[in-house]
Amino acid sequence: MKKRITVLSGDGIGREIVPQAIRVLESIGQTFGHQFEFQHAQIGGEAIDATGYPLPPETLERAKSADAVLLGAVGGPKWEGLEYERRPERALLGIREQLGLFANLRPAKIYSPLIGASTLKPEVIEGIDVLVVRELTGGIYFGKPKGIEATATGHRGFNTEVYTTEEIRRIAEVAFQAARKRRKLVTSIDKANVLESSELWRREVIAVHKHYPDVELRHMYVDNCAMQLVRYPKQFDVIVTTNMFGDILSDEAAMLTGSIGMLPSASVGSTVGMYEPIHGSAPDIAGKNLANPIGTIASAAMMLVYAFDLTKEASVIEEAIKKTLEQGYRTKDIESLGTTLVGTKEMTDHILQNLSNG
């Protein structure tokens, strides 16, 4: 198999973790006879410094012409003073919209060696396996009108939460289809008691559910879900929710596993998917060989599954990660008593070793 991957390392620790994922993909390619061609492009703050824009046209074209996109992270204090439309984070919204990536899949599954790294009791988190399906191109991040305007007493900031039948139904389809391959349970998260957009959300999810009688559907308000994720996370299988609610809840779910640095994501919906860890650019540790590369490496494994249908190869990566953790190797964010502290590159070295031995 020959595939072209557009690589967007971005800012901060993105420049350290993405090369580690590439090393793993190259190893998989050599082992299984696949050829992965990597084409690099700029995004976020690095693109602003080079071109003045967070998402240059050349980057977008390279993403559209690829078979998949691997993204690191964007943003940092250096660019926070820029006008809103030119900030690094706008590149994420732009590329998601332009590639039609309306579904963000964020799994939160705990590795047994990391149960002690979570701040919750072992009996609460042991065995959790949650998939958050986040709507990605609608809702309050894209709704109009939006802006900041002057008033008689100061200023007024406003954003608009908007969802259409089509947007809700297509993300609900993704959630129900995913649940069929798991425990056949979807929990739809909204705020239908106070928001009209959530009232429509609930109505349309119920309508789609009629086509999936083998899957159980539950509804939960977002504030209750935030509480239940901490109280009893094992009650969840697939969570489907809006753009903003999914942004928040998936980060909360990530911390159940011990560190946000552990978790991957896949953004899908069109012909080209984008794969990235769910954490940010972490500028405070950038360039120090401290970042956890596992979320990015696991994102590469998701790419193999969702973009290339290489499930065996992805499982080999997952097993190598698990074995490395069982051997006691830890980056700083998941370090605990009795484990061996390693850096970004060294963690990947051990994963590669376990790939070879697997």
Over residues 227-236, the pLDDT tens digits come to 999 999 999 9
Residues 246 and 154 in one domain: yes
Is 90 exceeded by the pLDDT of residue 284? yes
Domain boundary among 239, 256, 273: 256
Would you call 210 a catalytic residue per the annotation?
A: no
H-helix segments, the chain: 14-32, 45-51, 57-64, 89-99, 122-125, 165-180, 196-209, 222-231, 243-256, 294-306, 311-326, 344-357
d(CA 342, CA 327): 12
For strand 185-190 and strand 216-221, is the pairing parallel, antiparallel, or unpaired? Answer: parallel
* Residue 284: how many other CB atoms lie within 10 Å: 11
Residue 110 is predicted with a pLDDT of: 87
Is 90 exceeded by the pLDDT of residue 183? yes
Residues 203 and 272 in one domain: no
Q: Which candidate in 3, 191, 237, 329 is catalytic?
A: 191
Residues 325 and 298 sit within 8 Å (Cβ to Cβ): no
Q: Which candidate in 49, 146, 223, 234 is catalytic?
A: 223
pLDDT confidence bin for 323, thresholds 50/70/90 = very high
- What letter does residue 143 receive in the DSSP assignment? -
d(CA 52, CA 343): 33
Residues 267 and 301 in one domain: yes
Would you call 191 a catalytic residue per the annotation?
A: yes
**CA 29-34-40 angle, 5° bins:** 70
Residue 58 is predicted with a pLDDT of: 97
Q: Examine residue 67 and state whether it is found in any structural domain, yes or no.
A: yes
Domain boundary among 256, 281, 298: 256
Residues 240 and 138 in one domain: yes
- Residue 45's domain comprises 1-107+260-358
Could you read off the pLDDT of 136-154 as tens digits, one per residue?
999 999 999 999 999 999 9
Mean pLDDT of 316-337: 94
Mean pLDDT of 117-142: 91
Query: For residue 14, which phi and psi values (nearest 5 degrees)?
Result: -55, -35
Length of the chain: 358
Instruction: Compute the Cα dihedral for 21, 25, 30, 31 and give only its sign.
Output: positive
Would you call 129 a catalytic residue per the annotation?
A: no
pLDDT confidence bin for 161, thresholds 50/70/90 = very high
pLDDT confidence bin for 262, thresholds 50/70/90 = confident
Would you call 309 a catalytic residue per the annotation?
A: no
Is 80 exceeded by the pLDDT of residue 299? yes
Q: Which candidate in 11, 67, 111, 141 is catalytic?
A: 141
Residue 11 is predicted with a pLDDT of: 97
Give bridge partners of residue 186 from the DSSP assignment: 217, 238
Residue 191 is predicted with a pLDDT of: 98
d(CA 218, CA 212): 13
Residue 116 is predicted with a pLDDT of: 79
d(CA 39, CA 73): 17
Q: Sort 24 into a burial class: Cβ within 10 Å, 0-12 / 13-18 / 19+.
A: buried
Q: Which candidate in 247, 306, 323, 333 is catalytic?
A: 247
Residues 216 and 158 in one domain: yes
Domain boundary among 226, 256, 286: 256
Residue 117 is predicted with a pLDDT of: 76
Residues 317 and 210 in one domain: no
* CATH number of domain containing 44: 3.40.718.10
Residues 186 and 217 in one domain: yes
Residues 225 and 276 in one domain: no
Range with the lowest mean pLDDT among 42-46, 61-65, 305-309, 332-336?
332-336
